């Protein structure tokens, strides 16, 4: 493809920088003011206690949360800061990758498409493991593009570095390694790299970076591996979830961008079959993880966020087609600009809505419902704790536990009685709490009071609270008074 210099203004680097920085400013504002979703509040605890790894995922999002908290404090923005800033670096890496493999026109469209995708535009503030996994997957792809263009074997060390950091972010980055091997085998010009020591050194570097996760799992009976890898392909065969996966991908990419992405995938796939190295690099690094997601969807639901690391490649696929559509140029350009406008509009509306809700009438159908009503719940529980002289709060669910831990930081310890493996990084509870009164706080739909009554005997219910948004009911939260922490061990994990 030719590298034309007569780019329209919206594909020029200056405009792209302004576009990304404007969206970043919006994300910083939203990140500083929107309440946590449950998982973010949980990862905020990881930032309070940085460790080699954790039960649910590798440690990178915890390390990012810690770094942000050191910079701006234990706040919403502190937990999310590195996530938001990483999106700027990710856009830069994507632009460079697309320019190296194709041309400036493709690079410009790719940056616009990625930032206008619903997942990145709306979810780009969320402090979850997807954020570092997307960044480091994208950086590894950029290093591969530099390798492809420069023929400099030293780039294998960068590939290993970024792949290893990706493995410290989320286990799904393992599929990137499989994709790289596919590319090495398939692309004729790439096979020679098998005979350079720097390829193998890069692989060893990636594995060395993964050692903290291996060591943590060794110390904790491989708990994280059992949790994450144990659900692969589990369940009976069914077709009901594969259509959910397709719908989620089309929706989260952005429907008006997903259409050219499909055409672009077909075009690149055809070139990859003809052994085109650049096209094969995009297609084959995506293929193993996409194949796994389809396989998983034939057994169980694929969570909407799981395909996130593939979105930079999807943006390139769409850009390849729109930049050089082979007919109907003006029509595809108008459709793409409409898709970008749609994505930006959705991002602006939802991020403003996340901070200041326009309406509460959607209740739990509102995708931002997890953010609502927590300060009011905190005040009510604080009043109950003052009245009863409670010295601690106990829970039986990680999401509620995390929300209350943020509400009562520096006031009362909040302790989840079950799934203690989630909190292996925290110090044990103060022994003095075993003889003091406390509160058991639970969502009504996940109440474990029958189990607690087997331990305590009579446990009086002292309040039923309502979490709401603008007067619209979201869920009931029940509060019980307990005579002290139960004797160790706490409730077994399987009771959660």
pLDDT tens-digit readout, 412-442: 999 999 998 999 999 988 888 888 999 999 9
Q: Provide the token pair at 460.
A: 């009086």
Q: Provide the token pair at 237.
A: 């065969």
List CB contacts of 91: < 8 A, sequence separation 6 or more: 16, 20, 111, 114, 115
Cβ atoms of 293 and 246 closer than 8 Å: no
Q: Is the pLDDT of residue 119 over 60?
A: yes
Residue 342 confidence (pLDDT): 95
The whole-number average pLDDT for the span 378-387 is: 97
Q: Provide the token pair at 315.
A: 């943006």
Where residue 1 falls among pLDDT bands split at 50, 70, 90? very low
| pTM, to two decimals | 0.94
Q: Quick one: which of 51, 426, 57 has its CA closest to 225?
A: 57
Q: Is the pLDDT of residue 494 over 80?
A: no
pLDDT tens-digit readout, 251-298: 989 999 999 999 999 999 999 999 999 999 999 999 999 999 999 999
Residue 356 confidence (pLDDT): 93
Residue 476 confidence (pLDDT): 97
Where residue 238 falls among pLDDT bands split at 50, 70, 90? confident
**CA separation for the pair 299, 265 (Å, rounded):** 26
Where residue 495 falls among pLDDT bands split at 50, 70, 90? very low
Verify cis geometry, omega within 30 degrees of 0, for the bond prior to 262: no
Residue 492 confidence (pLDDT): 62
pLDDT > 70 in the chain, percent: 96
The whole-number average pLDDT for the span 111-139 is: 94
Can you spell out the DSSP letters for 334-401?
A: HHHHHHHHHHHHHHHHHHHHHHS-S-STTGGGSTTGGGSSHHHHHHHHHHHHHHHT---EEES-HHHH
pLDDT tens-digit readout, 78-94: 999 999 999 999 999 99
Which of 86-95, 106-115, 241-250, 370-379 shows the lowest mean pLDDT across its residues? 241-250
Q: Provide the token pair at 397.
A: 């669910």
Please tell me what DSSP assigns to residue 76.
Answer: H
pLDDT tens-digit readout, 295-333: 999 988 899 889 999 999 999 999 999 998 876 688 889
**Measured in whole angstroms, how far is the alpha carbon of residue 180 from the centre of its chain?**
22
Q: Is the pLDDT of residue 457 over 90?
A: no
Where residue 493 falls among pLDDT bands split at 50, 70, 90? low
Can you spell out the DSSP letters for 220-278?
A: TTTHHHHHHHTTTT-S---SHHHHHHHHHHHHHH-HHHHHHHHHHHHHHHHHHHTT-HH
Where residue 489 falls among pLDDT bands split at 50, 70, 90? low
Residue 434 confidence (pLDDT): 86
Q: Is the pLDDT of residue 459 over 60?
A: yes
Q: Is the pLDDT of residue 4 over 70?
A: no
Where residue 232 falls among pLDDT bands split at 50, 70, 90? low
Q: Provide the token pair at 297.
A: 């969807």
The residue with greater pLDDT, 1 or 460, is: 460
Where residue 3 falls among pLDDT bands split at 50, 70, 90? very low
């Amino acid at each position: 493809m030719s590298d034309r210099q007569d780019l329209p203004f919206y594909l020029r680097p200056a405009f792209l920088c302004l576009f990304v920085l404007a969206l970043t400013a919006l994300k910083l504002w939203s990140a500083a003011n929107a309440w946590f979703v449950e998982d973010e509040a949980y990862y905020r605890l990881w930032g309070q206690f940085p460790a080699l790894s954790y039960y649910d995922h590798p440690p990178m999002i915890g390390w990012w949360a810690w770094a942000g908290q050191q910079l701006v404090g234990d706040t919403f923005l502190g937990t999310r800061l590195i996530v938001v800033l990483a999106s700027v670096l990710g856009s830069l890496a994507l632009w460079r990758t697309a320019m190296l493999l194709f041309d400036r026109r493709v690079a410009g469209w790719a940056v616009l498409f990625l930032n206008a995708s619903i997942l990145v535009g709306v979810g780009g503030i969320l402090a979850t493991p997807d954020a570092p996994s997307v960044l480091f997957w994208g950086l590894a792809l950029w290093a591969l593009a530099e390798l492809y263009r420069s023929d400099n074997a030293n780039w294998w060390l960068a590939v290993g570095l970024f792949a290893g950091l990706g493995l410290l972010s989320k286990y799904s980055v393992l599929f990137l390694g499989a994709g790289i091997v596919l590319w090495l085998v398939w692309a004729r010009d790439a096979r020679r790299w098998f005979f350079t020591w720097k390829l193998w050194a890069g692989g060893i570097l990636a594995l060395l970076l993964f050692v903290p996760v291996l060591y943590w799992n060794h110390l904790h009976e491989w708990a994280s591996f059992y949790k994450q890898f144990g659900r692969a392909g589990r369940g009976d065969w069914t077709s009901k979830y594969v259509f959910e996966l397709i719908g989620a991908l089309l929706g989260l990419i952005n429907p008006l961008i997903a259409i050219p992405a499909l055409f672009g995938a077909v075009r690149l796939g055809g070139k990859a079959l003809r052994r085109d190295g650049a096209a094969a690099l995009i297609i084959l690094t995506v293929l193993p993880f996409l194949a796994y997601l389809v396989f998983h969807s034939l057994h169980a639901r694929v969570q909407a966020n799981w395909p996130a690391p593939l979105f930079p490649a999807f943006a390139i696929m769409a850009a390849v087609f729109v930049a050089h559509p082979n007919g109907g140029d003006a029509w595809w350009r108008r459709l793409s600009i409409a898709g970008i406008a749609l994505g930006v509009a959705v991002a602006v509306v939802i991020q403003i809505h996340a901070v200041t809700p326009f309406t509460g009438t959607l209740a739990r159908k509102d995708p931002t419902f997890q953010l609502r009503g927590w300060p009011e719940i905190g005040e009510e529980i604080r009043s109950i704790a003052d009245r009863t002289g409670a010295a601690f709060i106990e829970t039986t669910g990680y999401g509620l536990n995390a929300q209350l831990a943020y509400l009562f930081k520096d006031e009362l310890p909040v302790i989840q009685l079950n799934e203690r493996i989630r909190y292996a990084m925290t110090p044990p509870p103060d022994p003095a709490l075993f003889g003091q009164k406390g509160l058991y706080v639970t969502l009504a739909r996940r109440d474990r009071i029958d189990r607690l009554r087997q331990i305590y005997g009579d446990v009086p219910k002292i309040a039923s609270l309502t979490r709401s948004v603008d007067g619209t009911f979201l869920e009931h939260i029940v509060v019980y008074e307990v005579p002290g922490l139960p004797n160790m061990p706490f409730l077994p994990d399987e009771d959660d």
